[in-house]
Amino acid sequence: MRNRPKVVLVSIDSRFIHTNIALRYIKAFTKDLEYDCLMMEYTIQSPLMDMLDDILDCEPDMVGFSTYIWNVEQVSRISRLIRLARPSIRLLFGGPEVSWNAEESLMGLKGDYIIAGEGEETYRELIEKCLDNMETSGSFSLGDNDEVRGLATIRNGIPMVYPPRDKMDLARLPFPYSMDEDLSDRIACIEASRGCPYSCSYCLSSAEKDLRFRSVASVMDDVESLLKLGAKLVKFMDRTFNAHPDAAEVFRRIISLDTSAVFHFEMSPSMVNDAQMEVLKEAPPGRIQFETGVQSTDENVLHLIRRHSKGFREGLLSLLTLGNIHHHLDLIAGLPMDTMESFRRSFNEVYSLGPDVLQLGFLKIIRGTPMESEVKRWGMVHSPFPPYQVISTATMGRADVGRLKAAEKALDKYHNSGKFVNSLTYAASFHEDPLVFFEGLGNALDSEGYRVRSPSSDDYYRIFLMYSARVLEMKAGFEPGLMRDLVKYDFLLWNRRQGIPFFLERIDKDTNDIRRKLKREEGVVGHVEWFENDVVSHISGNERNPGPVAVLFDKSRTHGKIITL
């Protein structure tokens, strides 16, 4: 045994851009202790055997994992491999996926320690006691008589769960990131509170009742530090950010920062108040993003999932009318008693609000939540594997769920990508039922074999053009040529190459002379394309000039500009 023991904390995220704040917190909370703590970051795609070599090459005495619904299978496999390769290494697990039933998780994962609940103080006491025990026995592990509140361990082959620990005072939280990290291409996370004021039956946070807040000063100190590390996207991890009594003041200070960074918050429209609205209307466009879980607009469904809805609709509409904030709204399919018809109403109502992103998710039966005990009551069949997604319910059959999956795929690729904004706006002026439109678009993708693989970029545009022309051709006033031009316009906003796909029908008119003239006389360099229709005036709501028109897409490609010849 070396003098200083070593702990490797392993984060496995869905994408490398994410940064695990939980492991950073426990590392920072113990940085004064006489041990070495390394963090190793992987994604769920990382090859297991490479991870194993990486971790073992560090020669750790203990390996800790942060365990979530999306990584529990990889955590289970890599920890088993470590156990096989080096049985003496202590295995520690924490996170929501193991906290709800520490005893079962300990046995299932064949771990040495499970932290149930908040990690910082429990982890610190575990390390302190392991260090003490190492002094006397030489082993970096808990002594036979050591007890740690909030921890579960194995004693004589039997799982032992110690009593829970009181929730910590958030004033004790350190700044979690190391000051030599580069956050310029990663999502920087921050917490202003812990706990949630609500009790939605499908959510593990509903069990956490101790809602606690950090001071505005400490939150803003952390924000300043994140910006010094180059953060461009700062994500507040709070379950309901604006439950914070000083939410308006945090918004005010963030809005007054001299930065181009974007700040993301999860909001409850029911808790939006006049003070927050007054401040938010001053936000520069692009500074603030809100994520709001609508889940359903059906009052009965909301009641059955114990979701607070008083003042929600009014608050959401107020936020949406501000016009300077990026809105991400969530809906969940498969909730108790939700039918295709009630879900269709929810979807169409929320889509009509014009969110920048509308995420259609499917209910997950998370273990340890009240919903888990209601599965039979609602006739739910769900996957036994993480993320435990619902397959069918008493009121929504498997085929219905399949139809919504098709809609979800098309919604994600076409609406949420932001790449079809002008084409979709035109289509929306002819179809009455957005959910049916997206379901059909998703089916069009599936029918070309794209259920389990992704189309090429060109195919997304081709399938959209073909599908929208087919379903809208009989609608009064629909112009297939204008739709083609709008798809071509959207394509050119996002694609910088010179050529365009054949189905967008390039007009055979010279653009070289125009480009040379623009460069010579105005110093402008960009792509010039001819359109049959005056798409630029159509998009801006002005009277259309007779076509064809030449449109310049400059280097920024944020919009096209008509060239007057």
Site of interaction with ligand SF4 (CB under 6 A):
196, 198-200, 203, 205-206, 239-240, 293
Strands 560-562 and 549-554, by their bridges, are: antiparallel
**Nearest distance from C-beta of residue 267 to ligand SF4, angstroms:** 10
Phi, psi of 230 (to 5 degrees): 95, 10
d(CA 81, CA 52) in angstroms, rounded, equals 7
| Closer residue to ligand SF4 in complex, CB, 382/484 | 382
| Closer residue to ligand SF4 in complex, CB, 364/484 | 364
d(CA 492, CA 529) in angstroms, rounded, equals 9
Amino acid at 43: T
Strands 526-531 and 90-94, by their bridges, are: unpaired
**Nearest distance from C-beta of residue 32 to ligand SF4, angstroms:** 33
Q: Cβ distance 244 to 283 under 8 Å?
A: no
| Closer residue to ligand SF4 in complex, CB, 213/467 | 213
d(CA 550, CA 530) in angstroms, rounded, equals 4
| Closer residue to ligand SF4 in complex, CB, 111/293 | 293
d(CA 177, CA 179) in angstroms, rounded, equals 6
Q: What spatial distance separates the first Cα and last Cα of the chain, rounded to whole Å?
A: 80
**Nearest distance from C-beta of residue 202 to ligand SF4, angstroms:** 7
| Closer residue to ligand SF4 in complex, CB, 92/196 | 196
| Closer residue to ligand SF4 in complex, CB, 240/468 | 240
**Nearest distance from C-beta of residue 283 to ligand SF4, angstroms:** 23
**Nearest distance from C-beta of residue 208 to ligand SF4, angstroms:** 8
**Nearest distance from C-beta of residue 307 to ligand SF4, angstroms:** 6
Residue 169's Cα: distance from chain center in Å? 28
Q: Which two tokens stand for residue 23?
A: 């492991």
Q: How many residues does the chain have?
A: 565
- Alpha-carbon dihedral 446, 452, 453, 454, rounded to 10 degrees: 60
Across the chain, how many H-helices and E-strands are there? Answer: 19, 20
| Closer residue to ligand SF4 in complex, CB, 80/367 | 367
d(CA 438, CA 329) in angstroms, rounded, equals 17
**Nearest distance from C-beta of residue 58 to ligand SF4, angstroms:** 35
**Nearest distance from C-beta of residue 204 to ligand SF4, angstroms:** 7
**Nearest distance from C-beta of residue 240 to ligand SF4, angstroms:** 6
Residue 213 CB neighbour total at 10 angstroms: 18
Amino acid at 121: E
| Closer residue to ligand SF4 in complex, CB, 360/424 | 360
Q: Is the backbone peptide bond immediately before 548 cis, with ω within 30 degrees of 0?
A: yes
**Nearest distance from C-beta of residue 370 to ligand SF4, angstroms:** 10
| Closer residue to ligand SF4 in complex, CB, 42/343 | 343
Q: Which two tokens stand for residue 101?
A: 């039933």
3-state class (DSSP) for residue 397: coil
- Rounded alpha-carbon distances, angstroms, from residue 471 to 5, 349, 404: 66, 21, 19
d(CA 153, CA 185) in angstroms, rounded, equals 38
| Closer residue to ligand SF4 in complex, CB, 191/534 | 191
